Structure 1
Amino acid sequence: METAHGKNCGACTSPEVQALFCELLDQRTSYARALEIREHIAQCDECQRRLESEEVVRAMVRTCCGKSQAPQELRQRISVQITRTEIQWRQ
């Protein structure tokens, strides 16, 4: 979809696009998959801006808290909550 300001996918704020950002920025994502996601995001100017902002924020967090790790129990609780949210959203 084209707008007066450029390309726009129309789903910029959707959970699916946010999931692509998270997958892309996950260090375990393969190089090939990262390229695939970046190509998809390149189709939309707004998604590109959101991705750039996400990358800046994550870089700032790494700089400030890069050596700190959440306790294992907290990490597990967060993972369970994310999984529950995804399941509830899809039902």
Structure 2
Amino acid sequence: MEHAQGHNCGACTSPEVQALFCELLDENTSRARALEIREHIAQCQECSERLAAEEIVRAMVRKCCGGAQAPEQLRQKITIEISRTEVRWTQ
């Protein structure tokens, strides 16, 4: 994923960007829409890094849960809590 070095969109922590992350990572999002979102996110280094961290966390959760599905109401509650939480990775 290419992104502008040092470029920041200024909306990195906004609800709109978080909604894009959720839409992108939703398995029901079309490939065309996912590509469109990825291109938009790639324009901002901070958003790109947040997306990478989100994908790592989701992959770890999938691996740990062994494919188990939470009831829909619980999934919605977890999604809301995740969207309110900001993870900072330090290197």
Deviations 1:6-64 (A, max 9, x none): 11000000000000001001111000000100010011000000000000000000000
- Could you tell me the TM-score, scaled by structure 1's length? 0.73
What stretches of structure 2 of length at least 5 have no aligned partner? Answer: 81-91
The letter of the residue matching 1:58 is: R
% identical equivalent positions:
75
Q: Per residue, is there more strand in 1 or in 2?
A: 1
What stretches of structure 1 of length at least 5 have no aligned partner? Answer: 83-91
State the shift of 1:73 in Å: 5.3
CA distance in 1, matches of 2:66, 2:47: 26
* Number of the residue aligned with 1:69: 69
CA RMSD for the aligned pairs? Answer: 2.1
Structure with the larger RCO, 1 or 2 (CA within 8 Å, 6+ apart)? 2
CA distance in 2, matches of 1:38, 1:73: 28
- Could you tell me the TM-score, scaled by structure 2's length? 0.73
CA distance in 2, matches of 1:10, 1:61: 29
State the shift of 1:72 in Å: 4.9
Q: Per residue, is there more helix in 1 or in 2?
A: 1
Answer with 1 or 2: which has the greater Rg. Answer: 1
